[in-house]
Structure 1
Amino acid sequence: MNLNRGVFTVSLDFELYWGMRDIVSIEQYKDNLQGVRKAIPEMLQVFSQNDVHVTWAAVGLLFCNDTHDLKQNQPDLLPTYTKAVLSPYKYAEQAGELDSLYHFAPELIDLILQHDGQEVGTHTFSHYYCLEDGQTQAQFEQDIAAAIAIAKRKGITIKSIVFPRNQWNADYFSTLTQLGVQCFRGKESSWMYKAASVDVSQNQFRRAFRLMDAYINLSGQNTYDLNTCVQNAPFNFPSSRYLRPYSAKLAGLEKLRLRRIKKAMDDAAINKRLFHLWWHPHDFGINISKNIDFLSEIITHYQLLTKNYDMVSLNMSELCQMQDA
C-alpha cells in the first residue's frame, strides 16, 4: 500500500438492542436506545462538516421493517449456542411483536447513505458470536449471506465487517473471502483486548485494565503499519481505541481521556500509520451534547494533523481500495 500518509479511521458498531439484549433489559437501557436516534444525525453532521469518512457496521436485523420482515429474511440455519440466551431468534420468538424503536432502523440506514464518505458494512445479520460454544462455521456462513442479501435491498455491497463483541475467528476468514467481504476490524495486541468469549472478555480483571488504559498508556499507542494490515485476506484494520462515552463519575479525568487519544493520533500522523477509533452509536444515546463535544475535540485534532502532516480520513472499504490503487 503506497499511501505514505497517516490514516484516521472510524468504525461504529450499529446494533440498537440486538447488541445489548443478553446483558440488560430494554427498560434498563431504554434511554440510550431512544437517544441514539437523536445522536446519529448529530454524529453525521460532525462527520460531514469535517469530511470524516466512517464505516457503520450495521446488524442486518436493523434493515428489517418489522418482526414479519425479520422472519422472512432470517437464514434457514440458525446458531445453536450452548447458552440459549445468546440467540436473538429465541428472544424474538418469545417477544412476539418487537418494538421498532429498539430493534429496527431502516430509516437511519437511509440517512447514513445520504452522507458522503459513510460506508455501511456489516456487524453480522444477527449479532453473531463467533467464539461461543455450540455455533458452527456453516451457521456463520448463512448469517453473513443473510446480512449481504438484506443490504442489497438498499443497493449496498458489503465489503467490511466488525465482529460482535470483537469475537473474530480466524477459522471463519475463508467464509468472508468466499462471500466477498474484504476486511475486518481486529483487536489491539495487548492481552487485555484479546478476542474471547463473552465470559472471558467480560472478566472484571480484564475490564478494569481496559478502563485504566483509556486514561493512561498501559497498552501502547496501538497504531499500525498499513502494509502489515493488508498482507493477508481478509485485511485486518485493528482497533486503536474504543471511544468510551462520557461518565459523570469520571468527568474529572476527561482531559486524560482526550490526551490518550490525541497522543495515539499524533503517533499515526507523524509515522504514517493507521489510527482506528470505534464506539457504538447507542453509547452517545445519553449525555449526547457531552459526547458530541468530546468527539468534536477529536475531530478538531484530526484537522490539525491533516494540516501539519497530511493525515487523511478513510473508511474501511476505502482502505481496501487503496490496496488496489
Structure 2
Amino acid sequence: MNNNGTLVISLDFELLWGVFDKVDHKEKTTYFKNTRQVIPGILNLFSEYEIHCTWATVGMLFNENWEDWKENIPEILPQYKNRNLSAYDYGNSIPSFETEFLCFSKELIRKIQNTPNQEIGTHTYSHYYCLEEGQALASFRADLEKAIELAEKMGIELKTLVFPRNQFNESYLKVCYDLGIENVRSNPTNWYWKDTQNDSLKNKIFRTADAYLGPKNKSYRLNELKVEEGKPFSQKASRLLRPYSSNKFLNDLKLKRIKSEMTTAAKRKEIYHLWWHPHNFGENPERNLKDLRIILEEFKKLKLTYGFRSENMNSILR
C-alpha cells in the first residue's frame, strides 16, 4: 500500500437483525424505512468523494423473503443459553409480508455491489454472538458457510468479517481463515472496549464520553498490528461515528474531534479507521448525512494537503 495516511471506513449493515433482542420492531417502522432510504445517500456521498468502504453485511439480508429465509437455515444452530439472542427463534416469531423490509435487502446489497470502491464483507449470517454462552465452533462454521454460500450466488467473494457487537473471539479466527476470510476488525485497545459481552454501564459511559473527551490519538501504523500465520489480519477500529445529536455543542465537539484525529493520521502517515451502523442514521437522516459530508470535506482537504487516502478493509492490504 501507499505510505501516506489512510482513512478506512467499515459499516455494520444489519437492519433489524442487529437489534431484534433490544427493540420492538413495531415501533421501529419509520426508523428502518429511513435507514433503507439513507443508504443510497451514503453511497452517493462515497461516490462523490471517492470513498472506499467495507460493508460488513448480515447474511440473512441476502434472502428475498421469509420463504427464502426458511430454506436457508443452517444445519447446526447456536444454542444460546439466552434464547432471546437467537435470530432463528425471533425470525420464526415475526414472519409476515409487512416485516420483510426490516429483515431482507437484496436490492440494497446490489446497489452497494454496483457502487465503485465498495467491499461487501460479512457480519456473519445470523448476527452470530461469538462470546455468548452456548455458542460453539461447529455452529459458527455452519453460520459462516451459509453467509458465504448466499454471497457467492450474487457473485460476491467474502474476504472481510466484522464480529457482531464487537464480540471478538480469537478461537474463531482459524475457522474464518480456513473459509477464505482474510481480514477481521478488532476492537480499540482502550479498557472499556475489552469486555463487549457484558457491556457494563461503566463501559458504555466511558465509550460515550470518549466521543467528546479524553485522549485523541486513535490512529496507528499498519506494521503495529499483529500478523499470525493461519489467521486473518486483524485491523483495529479507531472511532465509532456516533449519530447526530440535537445538542449542538456536543455534536460540533464530536465532529471537531474526528476531524482532528483524521488530521493527526494524515500528518503522521497513519491509519484512521472509522465505523458505524447505517441504521445509526435512521433518526435525523438528513442531519446525519450532513455530518458525514462535513467529515468527507475534511478528508478531501487532507487528501489535497497530505495525500491522505481512502481504502476499505480489503484494499488497504493490496
CA positional deviation for 1:252: 2.3
Q: Say which SS state the counterpart of residue 296 (structure 2) adopts.
A: helix
* 1:9 alignment counterpart: 8
CA positional deviation for 1:195: 4.4
Aligned equivalents of 2:84 and 2:138: distance in 1? Answer: 20
* 1:156 alignment counterpart: 156
Q: Say which SS state the counterpart of residue 150 (structure 1) adopts.
A: helix
1:176/1:195 Cα in 2 relative to 1: closer, same or farther (>3 Å)? farther
Structure 1, residues 220-254: CA drift from partner, whole Å, max 9, x if none?
42212111336233111111111110122x33212
Aligned equivalents of 2:86 and 2:256: distance in 1? Answer: 39
Q: Say which SS state the counterpart of residue 68 (structure 2) adopts.
A: helix
Matches within 5 A, 1:130-145: 130-145=130-145
Q: 1:243 aligns with which of 241, 244, 247?
A: 241
Aligned equivalents of 1:33 and 1:306: distance in 2? Answer: 34
Asked if structure 2 preserves the Cα contact closer than 8 Å seen for 1:32 and 1:286, the reply is: yes
Structure 1, residues 120-169: CA drift from partner, whole Å, max 9, x if none?
00000000000000110111111111111100011000000111000010
Aligned equivalents of 1:132 and 1:26: distance in 2? Answer: 23
Aligned equivalents of 1:319 and 1:75: distance in 2? Answer: 32
Q: Which runs of 5+ in 2 are unaligned?
A: none
CA positional deviation for 1:108: 0.3
Letter in 2 for 1:178: D
Aligned equivalents of 1:226 and 1:267: distance in 2? Answer: 15
* 2:279 alignment counterpart: 282
* 1:294 alignment counterpart: 291
Q: Say which SS state the counterpart of residue 237 (structure 1) adopts.
A: strand
CA positional deviation for 1:27: 2.4
Q: Which moved more, 1:21-30 or 1:63-72?
A: 21-30
Q: Say which SS state the counterpart of residue 28 (structure 2) adopts.
A: helix
Q: Say which SS state the counterpart of residue 314 (structure 2) adopts.
A: helix
Q: Which moved more, 1:259-268 or 1:113-122?
A: 259-268
Q: Which moved more, 1:230-239 or 1:251-260?
A: 230-239
* 1:271 alignment counterpart: 268
* 1:229 alignment counterpart: 225
* 2:301 alignment counterpart: 304
Aligned equivalents of 2:2 and 2:73: distance in 1? Answer: 40
Matched, 1:260 2:266: no
* 1:34 alignment counterpart: 33
Q: Say which SS state the counterpart of residue 89 (structure 1) adopts.
A: helix
TM-score normalised by the chain length of structure 1? 0.94
Letter in 2 for 1:122: T
Aligned equivalents of 2:245 and 2:101: distance in 1? Answer: 25
Letter in 1 for 2:154: K
Asked if structure 2 preserves the Cα contact closer than 8 Å seen for 1:242 and 1:277, the reply is: yes
Structure 1, residues 28-77: CA drift from partner, whole Å, max 9, x if none?
32222110121011101100001000101110000000111112122100
Asked if structure 2 preserves the Cα contact closer than 8 Å seen for 1:230 and 1:236, the reply is: yes
After TM superposition, the runs of 4+ consecutive aligned structure 1 residues lying more than 6 A away are: none
Structure 1, residues 183-236: CA drift from partner, whole Å, max 9, x if none?
011111001111431xx22x2111111111101124x42212111336233111
Q: Which runs of 5+ in 1 are unaligned?
A: none
CA positional deviation for 1:276: 0.5
1:253/1:96 Cα in 2 relative to 1: closer, same or farther (>3 Å)? closer
TM-score normalised by the chain length of structure 2? 0.96
Asked if structure 2 preserves the Cα contact closer than 8 Å seen for 1:53 and 1:313, the reply is: yes
Letter in 2 for 1:241: R
Letter in 2 for 1:124: T
Aligned equivalents of 1:293 and 1:186: distance in 2? Answer: 28
Q: Which moved more, 1:40-49 or 1:187-196?
A: 187-196
Identity %: 39
Asked if structure 2 preserves the Cα contact closer than 8 Å seen for 1:166 and 1:195, the reply is: no
Aligned equivalents of 2:245 and 2:268: distance in 1? Answer: 32
Q: Say which SS state the counterpart of residue 9 (structure 1) adopts.
A: strand
Letter in 2 for 1:81: Y
* 1:121 alignment counterpart: 121
1:195/1:56 Cα in 2 relative to 1: closer, same or farther (>3 Å)? farther
